[in-house]
Structure 1
Amino acid sequence: MAHTERRDAPGLPDFSLLKRLARDQLIFLLEQLPGKKDLFIDADLMSPLDRIANVTILKQHEVDKLYKVELKPVVSSSDQLCFLIRPRIQTVKWISDLVNSDKVAGRFRRYKIIFTPQKFYACETILEEQGVYGGRICDKTLSIIDWMRIKAVFHVICLCM
């Protein structure tokens, strides 16, 4: 029996609007750190990031180099570092150590942390305790991207196809 389309079933929804919304939100947050910057991405977020903003788009918004967060010393020569991370205490401690080691070395950089899918109070507390929140970190309100919703949408797309 040949497969025919059901006329009473709706077509696949258009998720391009959600994709564009996530991309625009990321671009807005990246542009809050004007000029060339290096972007450090949590390994778990690389695939969702690639689905909404490829390297070309990131380069257009002055992302110079991309790094995977590996919790080891940073080799970046950029004066601006942006971190796209999940709210994990170990990662936040690593960023705090990086900021403080730059301070001890007399190196001034600007930093931005973008948490996804949410910001935890514990992470904020660690940044405050380490003396980096609101000082060297670019803004006092750490940014949040709700990519879990976007990721769920892509899983639905995959199931529908």
Structure 2
Amino acid sequence: MAEGRRDPQPGDLIEIFRPLYQHWALYVGDGYVIHVTDEEASSIFLSSSSISATRAKVKMELLKDVVKNDNWRVNNKFDRSRTPRPVKEIIRDAEQWIGKEVSYDVLKKNCEHFVTMLRYGKGVSEQAEKAVFGGATALLGTALLGALAVLRVALSGGKSKI
């Protein structure tokens, strides 16, 4: 079932809502997308998001086959802040990657980085940034709470009221 605009145009970014993450593909026309996928994944939960994956493959497949039963939408999310490259260049560059094995890192070089690099000339992944900064924020919060507890004990003369 599709969500959002149902008529993708060549060069559009396609966001696919998987159960635990978003998978990204680039629409190239005639119902096809180009995307980075972890071929070794044995389940949809691991495909293109496997933390242990270090290599992935660039494939051209029908959008309906990549989406399966998941929701999707056209999401050219950076068009307001970045100028998309010319569509012919986006498609030409994307097609050069088909069938190639690429390095893959869920936080630094994932499917979202791949398609935003093609569309805008710079790879960006908001979901990776959220994972990194969200994890860093949680770690910082824990460290601050620990430091406050130590400070409280030190200020109370080493006597805890617990």
Q: Which has the higher strand share?
A: 2
TM-score (norm 1): 0.23
TM-score (norm 2): 0.23
Larger radius of gyration: 2
Q: Which has the higher helix share?
A: 1
